[in-house]
């Protein structure tokens, strides 16, 4: 039974499982399952094979239950397999190593036979796990549907400030433990397999928030919450520390399912429960209450206490981490539906109207109002939203306006004509059915209004378009927007990396994507990349750019893997009126732009406390602009991976 209803949330984090600690011998499994399901757990993490078993020639595998004991849909919906924990593939003991490999393969084969959705494989027993990872990688090649969840304890010992000198001196006694490193080595040896996930064991103490943050970019499928991690409230019930609560809420928001594990430390009596619910009659019939029910109830409480998803978030939920190619309105004509969607972004057009109003007031003083008519050109008028904003700004400020609406898409021009007729704007608006690059304007404009910005600002070639269009702007004319700046920050984003990798070609790694970033870890604050100002009448205008950025990760983050860079923009429309999606300054409730994502062909490992240096180029050819080339270098002496450099087309 799901933890609760949360409007718009259909993710797996609604489900809560329970770990079966003892081997359910004989036909024990169906009984345990029935008991757990009737106690409102959704699934079991259960051992599949007797942990006493060691491979013997001719023996039949001593499974917990024959496949006939549960139905195929019970197996696949309610059982996550737990691979025997004794296996140790990197042991010095060869027999143990060989037994481990054979048993692991047999158990996975049995789980595949049962069509389980996932199996949890035990944590590496030691820091070197090469043989374990090799065998798992080999198994992963043969799996079609089943996932493997590598169990990892969530722990990281913090290096004290005074210890840092010693660490750099390679003092082995001050070695820090960071279980993320185990995961990272394992996943690298498994070649970023898209069927390998993490199940994190949540213990009573937690690492720093910055270090926890890394996991939100990793493929965490389950948080195995140990009963030992719970505190006890005044009434004797289990509860979690504030930090644990924050972490769990984060997991709920990132589709991570909870599994309760351990022995009960909170023997909350059933009778008092019955009294509380005023339901005494049923105590006799009620089957024994599940020992871990109080923990499940606390989880349900935490889940239900979360704020409902805001409406815009709910609308965008299906776009989370979904890679889209940026629109290319310069090359392709947009469809009516696309215009319709973007025209609904009232926040954006309100900002434009404010900016145009301010420009009109600056251009025409109060005493010129009756004699002066401002010429305004909308370049890329689409179906007319900026024409409307301009006329509204004129009305609001009492300024007279003459509008030229320039649009290259003949289908949008048809709509523009209908709109002008419908609104009775014929005397104020002239429609120009033409590409702004070819148009020969009959007069020069006071104000040039455009909305050519992409998620990274210049990536839909706004600079090139506006440099061309300023030939019909008066020398003292105003461009709205008057400037814009792009921003980037490094991210961990294993899902995006795997989705791009699934195309099995280089081309998809040399593309920038528009994407509602969700399962990502933002590793450092965004920094400015390129800026453009309009109009620019300088004789030496160039839209080529180069920038070198250096990102410092917070000290307590630990090491991490960078899969790419998230990109944003901020635009000054006019004076103090701005518009943008840079996280720290973004315009609220605007939905026209998702961030952009620049992937790295090869993710870069960044050791703890090393800065990242990244180079960005914007290159212009005669017929083509490659908006971003990237080179990244983790600045470490003993470089374990060389710098990465490649071109990304937007």
The smaller minimum CB distance to a copy of itself, of residues 72 and 310, is found at 72
Decide if 335 is catalytic: no
Give me the least distance between CB of 411 and a copy of itself, in Å please: 4
- Give Cα 622 to chain centroid, integer Å: 36
Quick one: which H or E segment has residue 445? strand 445-450
Which window, 104-112, 200-208, 531-539, 548-556, contacts a copy of itself (CB under 8 A)?
104-112
Q: Which of 277, 281, 288, 337 touches a copy of itself (CB under 8 A)?
A: 337
The smaller minimum CB distance to a copy of itself, of residues 74 and 533, is found at 74
Q: Return the residues of window 207-236 that contact a copy of itself according to CB under 8 A.
A: none
Q: Which of 30, 98, 113, 286 touches a copy of itself (CB under 8 A)?
A: 113
Q: Which of 18, 114, 436, 523 touches a copy of itself (CB under 8 A)?
A: 114
336 touches a copy of itself by CB under 8 A: yes
Letter string b/e over residues 590-604, b meaning 16 or more CB atoms within 10 A of that residue's CB: bbbbbbbbbbbbebb
Decide if 460 is catalytic: yes
339 assigned to a ligand binding site: yes
Q: Which of 74, 112, 483, 527 touches a copy of itself (CB under 8 A)?
A: 112
Q: What is the dihedral of CA 33, 35, 37, 40, to 10 degrees?
A: -150
Q: How far apart are CA 186 and CA 175, in angstroms?
A: 20
443 assigned to a ligand binding site: no
Selected catalytic residue, list 107, 451, 582, 609: 451
Residue 628 bridge partners (DSSP): 648
Q: Which of 72, 236, 308, 398 touches a copy of itself (CB under 8 A)?
A: 72
576 assigned to a ligand binding site: no
The smaller minimum CB distance to a copy of itself, of residues 249 and 434, is found at 434
| Total binding residues toward a copy of itself, as defined by CB under 8 A | 35
In total, the chain counts a number of residues equal to 650
Non-local CB neighbours of 137 within 8 Å, separated by 6+ positions: 189, 190, 191, 193
75 touches a copy of itself by CB under 8 A: yes
344 touches a copy of itself by CB under 8 A: no
SS3 assignment, position 100: helix
Residues 274-313, one symbol each (x = binds a copy of itself by CB under 8 A, - = not), give: ----------------------------------------
Non-local CB neighbours of 354 within 8 Å, separated by 6+ positions: 393, 573, 577
Which window, 102-110, 118-126, 214-222, 521-529, contacts a copy of itself (CB under 8 A)?
102-110
Bridge pairing between strands 400-407 and 373-379: parallel
Give me the least distance between CB of 294 and a copy of itself, in Å please: 35
Q: DSSP readout, 461-480? A: -HHHHHHHHGGGEEEEEEEE
Letter string b/e over residues 407-437, b meaning 16 or more CB atoms within 10 A of that residue's CB: bbbeebbebbeebbeeeebeebbebbbebbe
132 assigned to a ligand binding site: no
CB 115 within 8 A of CB 72: yes
Select from 89, 126, 116, 93 the least CA-distant residue to 104: 89
Q: Which of 131, 176, 265, 433 touches a copy of itself (CB under 8 A)?
A: 433
Q: Return the residues of window 32-61 that contact a copy of itself according to CB under 8 A.
A: 58, 60-61
Q: How far apart are CA 154 and CA 207, in angstroms?
A: 8
Give me the least distance between CB of 153 and a copy of itself, in Å please: 32
Residue 55 CB-half CA count within 13 A: 15
Q: Return the residues of window 371-430 that contact a copy of itself according to CB under 8 A.
A: 383, 409-415, 417-419, 422
Give me the least distance between CB of 648 and a copy of itself, in Å please: 24
Which window, 63-71, 87-95, 197-205, 630-638, contacts a copy of itself (CB under 8 A)?
63-71
Select from 176, 219, 213, 180 the least CA-distant residue to 605: 180
Residue 374 bridge partners (DSSP): 401
Which window, 8-16, 65-73, 351-359, 499-507, contacts a copy of itself (CB under 8 A)?
65-73
Give me the least distance between CB of 197 and a copy of itself, in Å please: 21
The smaller minimum CB distance to a copy of itself, of residues 26 and 539, is found at 26
Q: How far apart are the first and last CA of the chain?
A: 45
Give me the least distance between CB of 357 and a copy of itself, in Å please: 26
The smaller minimum CB distance to a copy of itself, of residues 337 and 637, is found at 337
Selected catalytic residue, list 19, 101, 107, 460: 460
Q: How far apart are CA 275 and CA 282, in angstroms?
A: 11
Tell me the chain's radius of gyration from C-alpha atoms: 30
Q: How far apart are CA 250 and CA 256, in angstroms?
A: 9
The smaller minimum CB distance to a copy of itself, of residues 26 and 475, is found at 26
The smaller minimum CB distance to a copy of itself, of residues 123 and 384, is found at 384
Q: Which of 67, 191, 279, 280 touches a copy of itself (CB under 8 A)?
A: 67
Strands lying side by side in the sheet with 545-551: 545-551, 612-620, 625-634, 644-648
333 touches a copy of itself by CB under 8 A: yes
The 3-state secondary structure of 47-83, one letter per residue: ECECCCCCCCCCCCCCECCCCCCCCHHHHHHHEEEEC
SS3 assignment, position 609: coil
| Helix and strand numbers, DSSP H then E, in the chain | 17, 26
The smaller minimum CB distance to a copy of itself, of residues 287 and 442, is found at 442
- Residue ranges of the annotated binding site for S-adenosyl-L-methionine are 339, 348-349, 407, 435-436
For the annotated binding site, the residues are 339, 348-349, 407, 435-436
Catalytic annotation, residues: 451, 460
Q: Which residues bind a copy of itself (CB under 8 A)?
A: 58, 60-61, 63, 66-68, 72, 75-76, 106, 109-110, 112-115, 333, 335-337, 340, 383, 409-415, 417-419, 422, 433
């Amino acid at each position: 039974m799901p933890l609760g209803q949360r409007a718009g949330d259909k993710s797996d984090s609604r489900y809560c499982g329970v770990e079966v600690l003892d081997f359910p011998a004989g036909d024990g499994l169906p009984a345990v399952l029935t008991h757990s399901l009737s106690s409102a757990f959704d699934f079991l993490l259960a051992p599949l094979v007797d942990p006493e078993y060691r491979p013997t020639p001719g023996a039949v595998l001593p499974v917990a239950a024959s496949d006939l004991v549960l139905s195929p849909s019970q197996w696949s919906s309610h059982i996550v397999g737990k691979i025997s924990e004794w296996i140790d593939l990197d042991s010095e003991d060869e027999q143990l190593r060989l037994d481990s490999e054979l048993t692991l393969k047999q158990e996975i084969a049995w789980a595949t036979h049962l069509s389980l959705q996932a199996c949890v494989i035990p944590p590496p027993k030691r820091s070197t796990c090469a043989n374990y990872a090799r065998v798992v990688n080999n198994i992963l090649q043969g799996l079609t549907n089943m996932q493997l969840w590598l169990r990892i304890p969530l722990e990281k010992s913090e290096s004290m400030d005074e210890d840092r000198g010693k660490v750099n001196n390679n003092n082995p006694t001050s070695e820090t433990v960071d279980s993320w490193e185990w995961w990272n080595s394992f996943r690298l040896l498994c070649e970023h397999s898209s069927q390998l996930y993490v199940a994190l064991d949540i213990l009573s103490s937690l690492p720093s928030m910055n270090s926890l943050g890394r996991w939100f970019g990793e493929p965490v499928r389950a948080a195995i919450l140990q009963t030992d991690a719970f505190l006890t409230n005044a009434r004797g019930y289990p509860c979690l520390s504030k930090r644990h609560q924050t972490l769990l809420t984060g997991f709920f928001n990132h589709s991570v399912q909870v599994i309760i594990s351990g022995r009960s430390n909170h023997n909350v009596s059933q009778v008092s429960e019955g009294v509380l619910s005023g339901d005494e009659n049923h105590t006799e019939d009620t089957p024994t209450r599940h020992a871990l029910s109080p923990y499940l109830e606390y989880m349900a409480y935490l889940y239900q206490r979360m704020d409902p998803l805001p409406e815009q978030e709910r609308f965008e939920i299906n776009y989370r981490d979904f890679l889209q190619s940026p629109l290319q309105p310069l090359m392709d004509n947009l469809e009516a539906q696309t215009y319709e969607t973007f025209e609904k972004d009232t926040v954006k057009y309100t900002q434009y109207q404010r900016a145009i109003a301010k420009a009109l007031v600056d251009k025409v003083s109060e005493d010129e109002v009756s004699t002066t008519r401002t010429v305004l050109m909308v370049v890329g008028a689409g179906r007319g939203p900026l024409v409307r904003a301009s006329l509204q700004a004129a009305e609001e400020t009492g300024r007279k306006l003459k509008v030229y609406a320039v649009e290259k898409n003949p289908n949008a021009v048809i709509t523009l004509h209908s709109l002008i007729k419908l609104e009775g704007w014929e005397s104020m608006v002239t429609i120009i059915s033409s590409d702004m690059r070819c148009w020969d304007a009959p007069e020069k404009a006071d104000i040039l209004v455009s909305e050519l910005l992409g998620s990274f600002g210049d990536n839909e070639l706004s600079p090139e378009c506006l440099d061309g269009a300023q030939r019909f702007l008066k020398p003292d004319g105003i461009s709205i927007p008057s400037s814009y700046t792009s921003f980037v920050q490094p991210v961990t984003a294993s899902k995006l990396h795997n989705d791009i990798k699934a195309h099995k070609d280089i081309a998809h790694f040399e593309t920038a994507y528009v994407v509602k970033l969700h399962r990502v870890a933002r590793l450092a604050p965004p920094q400015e990349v390129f800026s453009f100002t309009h109009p620019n009448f300088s004789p030496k205008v160039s839209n080529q750019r180069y920038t070198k950025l250096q990102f410092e990760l917070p000290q307590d983050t630990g090491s991490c893997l960078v899969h790419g860079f998230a990109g944003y923009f901020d635009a000054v429309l006019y004076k103090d009126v701005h518009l943008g999606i840079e996280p720290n300054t973004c315009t609220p409730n605007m939905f026209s732009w998702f961030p952009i994502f620049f992937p790295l062909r090869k993710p870069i490992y960044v050791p703890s406390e090393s800065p990242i240096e990244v180079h960005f180029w914007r290159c212009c050819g005669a017929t083509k602009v490659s908006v971003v080339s990237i080179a990244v270098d983790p600045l470490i002496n003993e470089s374990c991976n060389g710098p990465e450099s490649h071109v990304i087309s937007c």
